[in-house]
Structure 1
Amino acid sequence: MSTDSHQKVTADQLRRDAFLYVRQSTLRQVFENTESTKRQYALRERAVSLGWPIERVHVIDSDLGLSGASAQDRDGFQRLVAEVAIGHAGIVLGLEVSRLARNNADWHRLIELAALTRTLILDEDGVYDPACFNDRLLLGLKGAMSEAELHILSSRLQGGMRNKARRGELELPLPIGLLYHPNGSIVLDPDQQIQGSLRLLFDTYRQSHSATVVVRRFRREGWVFPRRVRRGIGKGEVHWGELNTSRVLQILHNPRYAGAFVYGRTRTGRKADLTSTQLKVAQSDWQVLIRGAHAGYIDWEEFERNQLTLRQNAVAFCQNGRGTMPREGVGLLQGRVICGKCGKRMRVRYQEVGGKLEPYYVCHDAAAHSAEKPCQSVRGRAIDDAIGALLLEMVAPAAIDVALAIEGEIAGRVEQANAMRLKQLERTRYEAELARRRYMNVDPANRMVADALEADWNASLRQLDTLQQEHDRQHQSDEALLGAEARARIRALADDFPVVWNDARVEPIERKRMLGLLIEDVTLVKAEQVLIQVRFRGGRTTVIRVDRPKPIALIRKTLPEVVRMVEELLETCSDRQIAERLNALGHTNWKGEPFTHKKVIVIRNAYHLKTRFVRLRERGMLTANELAAQLAVCPTTIYLWGQNGFLRQHRYGNQHRCLFEPLGDVVLVKGQGGRYSPTAPTFIAVQPTTQGAI
């Protein structure tokens, strides 16, 4: 490489513009390392000395405060590369290679483009022609040294941080609820409302084992949760707002709340587009873990239990999945049923039957992975009843202890909620008093400021009044919940645990949670009977057999004894009389509804039973028209004689449909005037004619 810089500058390069690239790695360097920035801007004079007019020396300084480790998000560097690629740049100026790029890929891309367009590169040491092999070799070495320098600096910083972290002395940002004491130790936040909010969060999760339930309780009670501003305007301030699920999960996964010092929970990785991202590291790979390093809200054992339940909650439908946490739905064994044929977990499907949702335990693994038919599908009502009876048999001796524990838990929850509301009320009262003092200290003549402060004071007072009324209402409700009558009712329920288990006010999710404390899983095999193998916590097993649920066709089928009774009653009763007789004996149809004459007709038609009319005709009964023709009277007269009891009639339909018994060897005698009496007919028996009579 020639040492004379002017020999490398040609007329073709002077016809193009000069581009000066200025960069500092951080905003702090921009404000504090001003001398370096001045040195970079001073390179314009070097360009002028090489022959470029000052008006054709362009300064690119839009990347001030950005790292040179990557060209991503460096608009200034990308603009510089574009100018070199299209041949607008005759020379590129930079104080040193590290100012242009700290990444070999970005640096060599710039060198290659500069070599193709015959663009020079200038730094504090001299001018280089990338088209010349020796200059390109030297530039490549400088780029490698620049990247190595960044690695060395980072290694030094990381080594010092790791060394302090191993001693537990590295100061890391603390989550809400923890603060650094002036002596350097970590203490709980002295704000009692912040402490109460966190303790209530952990207590609620300890009871429910569900982050969603925690959020629902906070929103149902109208509680707010603190959040500390980490950067920007208001840094360090505490803001109060609604709690969400992601916030709960962050707190539950944070080991600092268990009093542990942890370093290396995440590491930096690269995405497909080369952007950086934070990747979680398994607990076994954490670089530093010091238990009991400072005060916490829970102990380490509870933290590990929380991680276990969170992993169980996150288990999706997989080959080796076991029971998940309780969810909505009436299926008692949701998440705990194993297929006895393929060994996979069975899922719950709900179907409306008779206006109610009925659970079905279905094995969908073969259908989901192999497009085959489901292994088996079992209606869950009988299964749930059998498991419930088994639990009642086992848990009944400990019912009193359970009831007392429930009573204590309710009292504890009420006390926590009351303390939380009092702290929230106290903070609101303080803010209202602060707004009052601000208003009282303002100059009355400054009406614009005074009106705004007065409005803030009034808003604080309204909020305070709303919270006070809500607190009083909730306090009265809690008093009723823990009154003597309520306590007596809880203790009375302990004497009969089945009443507690079958109480309609008990949510299905609570029954599932109680079942999960005792039962690990249930294996079902559907055959002539449903085989139920129950595996309890601790390894004990038991087997139950229940009859297979009947199909709906058999369920709707009329009982055989009812059919036989209808068959017998048809000899003496009409359809309406049969319905009344069945209802009097307590019989109902498959829906539990009483019988009507139409339902009796349906039974007759379904089982092909002879009607009452057919049975009477087979016994020789006559209609009114037939009997009227025999007696030579009109049918109306026959009906009148039947109503008055002169003729024996048999009902077969409603009150007006009947058949008459035949008269046999009886004749009707005419009365005076040669007519038959419609009200009092005279019948005489005819003697049979003897042989040989005249």
Structure 2
Amino acid sequence: MSTERYQKVTDDHLRRDAFLYVRQSSLRQVFENTESTKRQYALRERAVSLGWPIERIHVIDTDLGQSGASAEHRDGFQQLVSEVAIGHAGIVLGLEVSRLARNNADWHRLIELAALTHTLILDEDGVYDPAYFNDRLLLGLKGTMSEAELHVLNARLQGGMRNKARRGELELPLPIGLTYHPNGSVVLDPDQQIHASLRLLFDTYRQTRSASMVVRRFRREGWSFPRRIRRGIGKGEVHWGALNTSRVLQILHNPRYAGAFVYGRTRTGRKADLTNTQVRVAQSDWQVLIREAHIGYIDWDEFERNQVTLRQSANGFGSELVRGTFPREGGGLLQGRVICGRCGNRMRVRYQRVSGRLEPYYVCHDVSAHDAGKPCQSIRGRAIDGAIGALLLETVGPAAIEVALAVEDEIAGRIEQANSMRLKQLERARYEAELARRRYMNVDPANRMVADTLEADWNDRLRRLDALQQEHDRLRQSDHRLLGDEARARIRALAEDFANVWNDCRVESVERKRMLGLLIEDVTLVKSEKISIHVRFRGGRTTSLEVDKPRPMALVRKTQPAVVSVIDELLETCTDQQVASRLNELGYTNWQHQAFTARKVALIRTTYRLPSRYERLRSRGLLTGAELAAQLEVSQTTIHQWGRQGLLRRQIYGHDHRCLYEPPGDVVLVRGAGGSKTTRATVVAPATGQGAM
């Protein structure tokens, strides 16, 4: 060792401790690359030769198996930096700069602290004092080269992986339900329970178009779902548990289930705290996408339809409009297609129970949700749905069906092109099968190892040819049915039957929303004196409607003036019970379309301050039983008895026991039996008219 190196080590350095930092990048290197570890531990002898006693040489080896790309999770490096910062370290020993750090930020921070505390740095090449410019410059260059070396190594590894991924040969971890065959191909999991669970998940989503509905069905039926342990204890094992929405979404977003090989779906990013995170990449930016690379549970077309549905279902608050929200349960016909005419945000459907049934309301509460303000608009949806339904029935007519048939003719040409491409694919499959047959026929039968492989390949080609032939025949039959005269006749007949289908109570609201979505893009509502409805059809055509604003509940419950007038007229000659019976005979009902009763008539009479039957009779001068008994100087019992016998005229105003009597006429004496007693009586004509007995 040169004299200059000894001159850098001073008594001040020797009074402080020496710290040896030992690191390997991975646990595999720790177990396999043992020579590097021995060389790092051997640096203690260098420290002893420089004057440090062995007991004051501290070895920091807690970072064995940790990458040096970042100081994160490297507790040993953090401890070393702390010892340098507080001045406990006289010298830091490392086999090379890459052992200490492969990141310039971490490396220069250590150099800066070492320069401030006059701490030396030793590697395999020599001793450096960061306080000197030349040494600091050399250490900085070594750190840059170490970082560049890491970049080159990563670039080589990533380049090899990308090159292998472009061929679809890169072996990546497969999701549950897929596994690698011993020959390296991807096959379905042989476990039939796992296979059936995934099939059931995709089938349920195909029917419901809702991840939540898939979870509800699994939980309602008590089904479990598999999950494979990726790391740690039990790695590779399959555990069964409850299914949740995030798991369903993860499966639906994974293109491997559609038989596609994908590389570059995510990239590594940094958070504000410099920790790594995985950032999802848009499909258009994926580095590698190979469709039909292996067998899958669904095809690629269904996978793309699922992605469109999932994006539409992710509609949340905000001004961004999401087209064509998938129809869900509920009576609101315009769910997902209503736009507020005031603020331009999408309106949501809220259901409220009115008169025992759920009524849809279209509400724009974006302002209330974000700015704690009042909702822009809240409109009852029954009248609007009725107007849109009538407009739809007018639009879907024979002319529209003829336009659809014209489009069908254009599609027929495309179908013929697709059929031509399928024939070419079928011809190539026949050639490959024939080629495999010739290879098998030319092999020596005694060489069974080669013959068996060629025979298996021939059988595989034949199975593939048979599958293509069956698929071709099926598609040809489907195209023939689609373009046949019978199908066209059914389409024309639909113009006449559409109204019956639309108004059929057996048709679910979800199906009506789907039919509406084929023609209408969106509907804009503006609530003022009337409700303005602006409809935008698919293709750009627009139309406007107006409907009356729903009346307040107070007006809805208000009795019609005509009914009040009839009640006022009937009260002249009828009691409340008789008025209710007469109203029911005339076909009148209340606001709830219910029949009238005496109690309901009394409530209307009180509300509109109509004189009762009793008040009307009293205003005509009719007397009560007590008043007439006092006038005739007889008991009330006698008055009521004379009324029942028809000797006095009376008018019923309640039930049979509530009545009023007309004023008396001439009074005569009536002698009792045996002539022992006389009473006074009123001479009346036989009682006739309303209320007479």
* Alignment partner of 1:229 is 2:229: yes
Aligned residues, how many? Answer: 584
Q: Which stretch shifts more, 134-143 or 537-546?
A: 537-546
Equivalent pair of 1:392/1:498 in contact (CA under 8 Å): no
Q: Would the aligned equivalents of 1:364 and 1:374 in 2 still touch at CA under 8 Å?
A: yes
Tell me the residue number matched to 1:289.
Answer: 289
How far does the alpha carbon of each residue in 1:509-539 deviate from its partner, in whole angstroms, 9 at most, with x for none?
A: 6665565466543333445554445555566
- 1:450-469 aligned at under 5 Å gives the runs none
Q: Which residue is equivalent to 2:348? A: 347
Say if 2:14 is the partner of 1:14: yes
CA distance in 1, matches of 2:245, 2:517: 23
TM-score, reference length from structure 2: 0.77
Give 2:88's aligned residue.
88
Distance in 1 (alpha carbons) for counterparts of 2:46 and 2:296: 61
Letter matched to residue 73 of structure 1: H
2:558 alignment counterpart: 557
Map 1:98-177 to 2 at 5 A.
98-177=98-177
* TM-score computed with the length of structure 1 as normaliser: 0.77
Give the SS at the match of 1:66: coil
Number of the residue aligned with 1:609: 610
| C-alpha deviation, 1:92, in angstroms | 0.8
Q: After the TM superposition, which of the residue ranges 29-38 and 347-356 deviates more from structure 2?
A: 347-356
Could you tell me which runs of 5 or more consecutive residues in structure 2 were left unpaired when the two chains were aligned.
Answer: 399-496, 686-693
> What per-residue deviation string (whole Å, max 9, x for no partner) do you get for residues 490-514 of structure 1?
xxxx9996699535xx876666556
The one-character-per-residue Cα deviations of 1:552-595 (angstroms, maximum 9, x if unpaired) are 11111113332222112211122233234334555443234443
Shift of 1:364: 3.2
Q: Are the aligned partners of 2:383 and 2:547 in contact in 1 as well (CA < 8 Å)?
A: yes
Is the 2:647–2:683 Cα contact (8 Å) retained in structure 1?
Answer: no
Aligned-residue offset at 1:314: 1.0
Structure 1 residues 541, 161: CA separation in 2 closer, same or farther (over 3 Å shift)? same
Call closer, same or farther: CA 1:629–1:178 in 2, change over 3 Å: closer
In structure 2, how many angstroms separate the alpha carbons of the residues matched to 1:529 and 1:610? 38
* Mapping for residues 243-254 of structure 1, pairs under 5 Å: 243-254=243-254
For 1:378 and 1:181, the matched residues in 2 are separated by 60
Q: Distance in 2 between matches of 1:10 and 1:232?
A: 49
Structure 1 residue 191: Cα displacement: 3.1
Secondary structure of the residue aligned to 1:321 is: coil
SS at match of 1:502: coil
Shift of 1:5: 2.2
Q: Which residue number corresponds to residue 468 of structure 1? A: none
Residue in 2 that maps onto 1:361: 362
Once the 2 structures are TM-superposed, how far is the Cα of residue 245 of structure 1 from its aligned partner? 1.6
Deviation at 1:254, TM superposition (A): 1.4
Structure 2 CA distance, aligned partners of 1:64 and 1:165?
A: 31
- The residue that corresponds to 1:68 in the other structure is 68
User: Deviations along 1:650-680, whole A, 9 cap, x unmatched?
Assistant: 112343332222234x2322426685448xx
The answer on whether the counterparts of 2:393 and 2:499 sit within 8 Å (CA) in structure 1 is: no
User: Given residue 619 of structure 1, which amino acid in structure 2 is its aligned partner?
Assistant: R
**What residue is the counterpart of 2:311 in the other structure?**
311
Taking the aligned partners of 1:222 and 1:124, their CA distance within structure 2 comes to 65
Which residue in the other structure is 1:47 paired with?
47
Paired AA for residue 362 in structure 1 = V
Task: Assess if the C-alpha contact under 8 Å between 2:226 and 2:239 holds in 1.
Answer: yes
Matched AA of 1:502: C
Give the deviation of 1:604 after TM superposition: 1.7
Partner of 2:421: none
Q: Does the 8 Å CA contact 2:648/2:684 hold for their aligned counterparts?
A: no
Separation in 1, partners of 2:196, 2:598: 69
Amino acid at match of 2:660: L
| Counterpart mapping for 1:200-349 below 5 A | 200-322=200-322, 323-327=324-328, 329-349=330-350
In 1, Cα distance between equivalents of 2:373 and 2:52? 78
Q: Which amino acid aligns with 2:85?
A: A
**One-letter amino acid matched to 2:653:** Y
**How far off is 1:609 after superposition?**
1.8
Q: Residue 642 of structure 2 aligns with which residue?
A: 641
Q: 1:35 aligns to what?
A: 35
Q: 1:382 to 1:27 in 2, by over 3 A?
A: same
Quote the Cα distance in structure 2 between the aligned partners of 1:165 and 1:3: 55
Cα deviation digits, residues 99-131 of structure 1 (max 9, x gap): 011111111111111112111111111111111
1:155 is matched by which residue type in structure 2? Answer: A
State the distance in 1 between where 2:397 and 2:248 align: 36
* Aligned residue in 1 for 2:661: 660
Kindly state the Cα deviation for residue 140 of structure 1 after the two structures are TM-superposed: 1.1
Are residue 502 (structure 1) and residue 502 (structure 2) matched? no
- Distance 1:676-1:682 versus aligned 2 partners, 3 A rule: farther
Corresponding residue number in structure 2 for 1:79: 79
State which drifts further: 626-635 or 119-128: 626-635
Letter in 2 for 1:615: R
**Cα drift, residue 25 of structure 1:** 0.5
Verify the 8 A CA contact 2:671 2:678 in the aligned structure 1: yes
Task: Tell me the amino acid that sits aligned with residue 643 of structure 2.
Answer: G
CA displacement 1:341-371 (0-9 Å, x = unmatched):
5543222233443454432212335556777
Distance across 1 between alignment mates of 2:616 and 2:304: 81
Cα displacement (A) at 1:297: 2.1
Q: CA deviation at 1:11?
A: 1.4
Structure 1 counterpart of 2:571: 570
Per-residue CA distance 1:271-325 (angstroms, 9 max, x = gap): 0010111111111111122222222222222221111111111121232314533
Distance 1:619 1:674, change over 3 A: farther
Q: Secondary structure of 1:124's match?
A: coil
Instruction: Please state whether the residue corresponding to 2:683 is helix, strand or coil.
Output: strand
**CA deviation map 1:245-277 (0-9, x unaligned):** 222212211122222222111111100010111
Provide the secondary structure at the position in 2 that maps to 1:4: helix
Aligned residue for 1:598, secondary structure, equals helix
Contact 1:18–1:91 (8 Å) recurs in 2: yes
Cα 1:375–1:8, aligned 2, differ >3 Å: closer, same or farther? closer
Any conservation in 2 of the 1:13–1:91 contact (CA below 8 Å)? Answer: yes
In 1, Cα distance between equivalents of 2:193 and 2:540:
44
The residue aligned with 2:470 is: none
* 1:142 partner amino acid: K
Deviation at 1:24, TM superposition (A): 0.3
Q: 1:481-492 alignment to 2 at 5 Å?
A: none
State the distance in 1 between where 2:684 and 2:549 align. Answer: 68
The answer for the alignment partner of 1:444 in structure 2 is none
Change (3 A) 1:525 1:390: same
Q: Distance in 2 between matches of 1:97 and 1:285?
A: 37
Residues 385 and 495 (structure 1 numbering): CA distance in 2 closer, same or farther, change over 3 Å?
Answer: closer
CA distance 1:676–1:3, shift in 2 (3 Å) = farther
Residues 381-396 of structure 1: matches in 2 within 5 Å? 381-387=382-388
Paired position in structure 1 for 2:596: 595
Q: Which amino acid aligns with 1:613?
A: Y
Of 652-661 and 525-534, deviating more is 525-534
8 Å Cα contact 1:631-1:668 kept in structure 2: no
Contact 1:337 1:521 in 2 (8 A): yes
Q: Is the contact made by 1:341 and 1:375 (CA closer than 8 Å) also made in structure 2?
A: yes
- In 2, Cα distance between the equivalents of 1:652 and 1:193? 80
Partner amino acid for 1:271? Answer: K
1:263–1:286 contact (8 Å) kept in structure 2: yes
Amino acid aligned to 1:283: Q
* Equivalent position of 1:464 in the other structure: none
Indicate how the Cα distance of structure 1 residues 339 and 116 shifts in structure 2: closer, same or farther if over 3 A, else same.
closer
In structure 2, distance between residues paired with 1:199 and 1:28:
40
Partner of 1:622: 623
Aligned to 1:407: none
Question: Is the Cα–Cα contact under 8 Å of residues 5 and 126 in structure 1 kept in the other structure?
Answer: yes
Change beyond 3 A, Cα 1:605–1:676: farther
Q: CA deviation at 1:90?
A: 1.1
Q: Which amino acid aligns with 1:338?
A: I
Q: Secondary structure at the match of 1:320?
A: coil
Conserved 8 A contact 1:177-1:198 = yes
